[in-house]
Structure 1
Amino acid sequence: MQATQAERGTPAQRNVLRGAIFIMATSSIGPAFLTQTSLFTEKYLASFAFAILISLLIDIGAQLNIWRVITVANRVIPGVGHLISAFIVLGGIAFNIGNIGGAGLAMNVIFGVPPIIGSLIAAVLIIGIFLLRNAKGVMDSVMQVLGPVMLCMIGYAMLQSNPPLLEAMSRSFNPDDPLILLLPIVTLVGGTVGGYISFSGGHRLVEAGITGVENVRLVTRAAVIGIATTGVVRICLFLAALGVVSQGLTLDPSNPAASVFSHSMGTIGYKIFGVVLLAASVSSVIGAAYTSVTFMYSLHDSIRRHNQRVVIAFIACSTLIYSLVGQPVKVLVVAGTLNALVLPLALGCILLTSRKSNIVGDAYRHPTWMLMFGILAMLATAVGVVMSFNALLEFWQA
């Protein structure tokens, strides 16, 4: 059945919706995404497909609830409180440290410049976007270009690695040991919809005025497409890595994702990885900075008025910390897991908000099945974080 004009939205709305979809998807498809997927594929082999499947189901349950409620309420997560906002901002900084580091590594791979210098160059270029008069429009366009670039290149790497598809499909439902997959499941959820990421596209829709009951179908479709886009890219990268390790090859622990591309395509693959990593890093820096700053709006009105300057300061701060800290691989995995800790808190507030007519309005009724889906996602993430805490400590100390 063909969608009506109202369901498709106006051309301007469709452009913002595409921007929201890609700001969410590309925020999650950053250096952490590439590192986590490659690292866990080498460790758990085809059984990692089960972790991807379960994490995607949790992602959909979380994102559908969050996007619908904040756009119907027409404000930035009412009731979430300063504590959760602080966690989300801190998580955004943690991710951005890794994102900036990824950009520096990408510049090193492509152009041979030292990573620190490369990160500074990338940060200056990204800051340049936010200095433009139509920064949000340019941001939407950049996200819509970088997303397909990453998908095509990762898809090509998958085809070149010749992965065991039948085994991956079988292990999606019958893993060797589901319990040992708790840490990767929690980490994937945290890296896809944890912390600031699940709110990134939703906040973009609120700022663009795509709110209210009349736009619920548009928002729902965009939320599902955003998660589906992330899922397709993760599956392609998983299969590419699985094809490599199934041949008995090992991944470089200091940069496992680069090994996937270099093993499957040689020197040209290593350069392609540099392009993918640069696209992933730039898009994630933009998404993390933009969304984290929107969570600061409740602190003072001047932050909303001068949001572009605050975003620039956020990026500069992340760049400075990266130049002092280092160790991006461990930081990226741990940041994903810690961001998963924020998700049940924020999602719980969203689910409570969905039942308050004084916030979402009398005309909106949040579907009961969606509420239950969200509760399951919240409980699964909370239990997973607690049960995987020891595994996370072991990983950090290794």
Structure 2
Amino acid sequence: MTDSTEKKGPTFAATRRTAMLGAMFLMAVSAVGPGFITQTSEFTMQFGAAFACAILISVIVDIAIQMNVWRTLGVSGLYAQELGNRLLPGLGWALAALIFFGGIVFNVGNIAGAGLGMNAMLGINAELGGVISVAIAMAIFLSKKAGVALDRVVVVCGAVLILLMGYMAFTTNPPVGQALTETVAPVLPEGENINTFFFAVTTLIGGTVGGYITYAGAHRLIASGHTGRENAQQIGRTSVMGIIVASVIRYLLFLAILGAITAYGTLQSTDYDNVAASAFLTVLGEWGLRVFGIAFWIAAITSILGATYTSVSFITTQKTSPRVRAWMFAGFLVLTCGVYLSLGQAPQTLLIMAGAFNGVVLPLGFAVILAAAWFKQSSLLGGYRYPKWLLVSGTVVWLLTIYMGANSLTGLAELWQGG
């Protein structure tokens, strides 16, 4: 799926805006998939208002990472694995293998989420719902104008998610003042400590900017052809807007769950083993389960699209023909759907595990981006003068992701054994 763009004439500005918008929302909706809903709901139940601080940390980390990733890849016009191979032969393909494996893990969770969402929304069997969702995604990728279809779908779905989360947050009337206070001065509940809190932060970061999500928007931007030094400022602004969109949805969901917990204390149980479903049911009754199903399915189908698109972009090059790429999209969908149908792990555990795994992979891939920006500006970025403040902030965040990724390894093993 590579779009051809005409860089002359009066329509170029509008074409660039459309491309930037599509890339921005692909990144945003990839970051707010079923794993995001599950993680945010589960950790809000665990940490209460203190989880607002985890959200703030994740937003700061997300912005620093995405600004560097978009700026480096966008200016160079190279996919991340191509950039890695230019730095050190074979490095890019090693990164591609890790991202591709992480994409498989995440997409299995996405498909599980789509099935769960369809079950809550329409009452159909969850496995059948997952298969139907995969078929819808496959139809989009195999269409003649797949790039245009992908951009339009993710923009519309992103807008709908904001409306649904905003409605839920307004309905629950959450303690906004307490949430704002604990954003900067968190008070951990009894029984929780800094290690469990950092595992939550790492999982949240991994689920919203780790693994394939790190590169989803930037790779889509490269495919549209709107790259190079002349677009550097616009590329930077768009990356921040994508994180802001994802963060708004994330914070609205946090407030909705917090409001439900504060108002009702104990949430009604459901058959879905999902805190968000319980919160929606408790606040809105049976209609709440339908609203939850709609939100969860939209989050899942857009993440299926993002995971498939970006994972395949890591095992292809920009010279790969659209036809070959389309069938690789289909193959990836069939593979992950097959794993989903055969895997017995509980969806909630799987979704949280996916975020934790990507949190571990994150510092490895981000190191490639920073190395190119620090040491190869002349050869890989065409002499572009990379902002030093951006490099420094990215390096600080990279060190933080190493620390959190190391801490999450223990939590990831315990989660798997406990699942």
Which residue of 48, 51, 57 corresponds with 2:51? 48
Which residue of 61, 64, 73 corresponds with 2:64? 61
Please state how far the C-alpha of 1:203 moved relative to its aligned partner.
0.5
Task: State the match for 1:395 in structure 2.
Answer: 415
Please state how far the C-alpha of 1:114 moved relative to its aligned partner.
0.7
Which residue of 115, 118, 121 corresponds with 2:126? 115
1:204 correspondence with 2:236:
no
Structure 2, unaligned stretches of length 5 or more?
Answer: 1-10, 85-90
Q: Give the Cα separation in 2 of the matches to 1:301 and 1:225.
A: 30
Query: TM-score, with normalisation over the residues of structure 1?
Result: 0.94
- The DSSP-based 3-state class of the residue aligned with 1:383 is helix
Please state how far the C-alpha of 1:303 moved relative to its aligned partner.
6.9
Counterparts of 1:36-115 in structure 2, within 5 Å, are: 36-77=39-80, 78-79=83-84, 80-115=91-126
Structure 1 pair 12/154, CA: closer, same or farther in 2 (3 Å)?
same
Q: Give the Cα separation in 2 of the matches to 1:234 and 1:201.
A: 18
Partners of 1:289 and 1:311 within 8 A in 2: yes
Q: How many residues align?
A: 390
Task: State the match for 1:5 in structure 2.
Answer: none
- The DSSP-based 3-state class of the residue aligned with 2:335 is helix
Q: Which runs of 4+ in 1 moved over 4 A?
A: 300-305
Q: Give the Cα separation in 1 of the matches to 2:268 and 2:253.
A: 14
Task: State the match for 1:3 in structure 2.
Answer: none
Percent of residue pairs bearing the same amino acid type: 38
> Which residue type is aligned with residue 25 of structure 1?
A
Task: State the match for 1:240 in structure 2.
Answer: 256
Query: TM-score, with normalisation over the residues of structure 2?
Result: 0.90
Task: State the match for 2:331 in structure 1.
Answer: 313
Please state how far the C-alpha of 1:176 moved relative to its aligned partner.
2.0
1:380 correspondence with 2:371:
no
Partners of 2:115 and 2:125 within 8 A in 1: yes
Q: Give the Cα separation in 2 of the matches to 1:183 and 1:303.
A: 41
- The DSSP-based 3-state class of the residue aligned with 1:306 is helix
Please state how far the C-alpha of 1:130 moved relative to its aligned partner.
1.2
Task: State the match for 1:258 in structure 2.
Answer: 277
1:283 correspondence with 2:302:
yes
Which residue of 282, 307, 324 corresponds with 2:342? 324
Q: Give the Cα separation in 1 of the matches to 2:369 and 2:313.
A: 17
Q: Deviations over 1:94-122 (max 9, x none)?
A: 11101111111111112211111111111
> Which residue type is aligned with residue 307 of structure 1?
R
Please state how far the C-alpha of 1:30 moved relative to its aligned partner.
0.7
Which residue of 136, 141, 165 corresponds with 1:130? 141
Partners of 1:89 and 1:292 within 8 A in 2: yes
1:340 correspondence with 2:353:
no
Q: Give the Cα separation in 1 of the matches to 2:416 and 2:214.
A: 25
Structure 1 pair 303/335, CA: closer, same or farther in 2 (3 Å)?
farther
Please state how far the C-alpha of 1:346 moved relative to its aligned partner.
1.0
> Which residue type is aligned with residue 388 of structure 1?
S
Partners of 1:161 and 1:264 within 8 A in 2: yes
> Which residue type is aligned with residue 33 of structure 2?
G
Instruction: Let me know the Cα RMSD of the aligned residues.
Output: 1.8
